[in-house]
Amino acid sequence: MKKTLLSMVMLFVCMTAFAQDEDAQDRASWKVPTTYLNIGYVESKLKQDDFDQLKSDWGASVTIGKTFFLHKKPVANFIRFGIDATWFDLSYANYKLNDFGLKETFHHAEAAMHVGPSITLTPVKGLNISGYFRYAPTFAALYSTANDNYNLGYATRFVAGGCLSYKFFGVGFESRFGFNKFDPFEEFVFEDHEDIEKIKTNLKGFRVYLSFRF
């Protein structure tokens, strides 16, 4: 009787181990989409010293990129580390200035590329939770309708966020921040001088986006 019971216990242990091994192999074979297309809503703020902060009325963005995983098999069968490479990021924000007795509009557009580390968790087949931090060198443009004045230049940006996706569709949130140099905002509004010394302009904001994964 004892031998029979012992045999049954050993058989159960072997079957459990085999099932877990099969489950691990199955989980390791789950495919995770690596290409992303994000369409987002933008809110952002531009700040210069000695001038009111500009807050966007509305904005929109389009981002296309790909995640390159650093290993073939996931860690613990559900964790993947990678490098995100965003080769196309176009963002626009519209600002309304209602101060100094003036009502003015600023148009702010940026084109960028990103690169940075990411982590993807796959707890259930088809369900992916990702987080990332990216450096984003950016070309920025700011235009004012007050006197047809505009600035162009390089901007340093950083992007941090996360996305929850199921199969080919997801939703995400990301924070954007950084700095560059523009003409003083008061010069945009009141005068149009040449060779004005540009000053540091800080940006901070966020995006909420829909993500399509392939």
Strongest mean pLDDT among 26-40, 84-98, 139-153, 192-206: 84-98
Query: Is there a domain that residue 4 lies in?
Result: no
- Position 104 scores a pLDDT of 82
The domain that contains 115 carries what CATH number? 2.40.160.20
Question: Domain range spanning residue 106?
Answer: 31-213
Query: Is there a domain that residue 84 lies in?
Result: yes
Query: Is there a domain that residue 25 lies in?
Result: no
**Which distant-in-sequence residues (6+ apart) come within 8 Å of 17 by Cβ?**
none
pLDDT digits (tens, 9 = 90+) for 25-66: 566 678 899 999 999 999 999 999 888 889 999 999 999 999
pLDDT digits (tens, 9 = 90+) for 164-205: 999 999 999 999 999 999 988 877 776 655 667 899 999 999
**Cα distances (Å, whole numbers) of residue 79 to 123, 159, 213:** 9, 22, 18
Contact (Cβ atoms closer than 8 angstroms) between residue 147 and residue 156: no
- Position 72 scores a pLDDT of 87
- DSSP 8-state symbol, 196: P
Query: Is there a domain that residue 102 lies in?
Result: yes
Please give the Cα distance from 45 to 43 (Å, whole number).
7
pTM, 2 dp: 0.84
Query: Is there a domain that residue 22 lies in?
Result: no
Query: Is there a domain that residue 134 lies in?
Result: yes
Of 23, 138, 141, whose CA–CA distance to 92 is shortest?
Answer: 141
The number of distinct structural domains making up the chain is 1
Query: Is there a domain that residue 26 lies in?
Result: no
Query: Is there a domain that residue 8 lies in?
Result: no
Q: Is the pLDDT of residue 9 over 50?
A: no
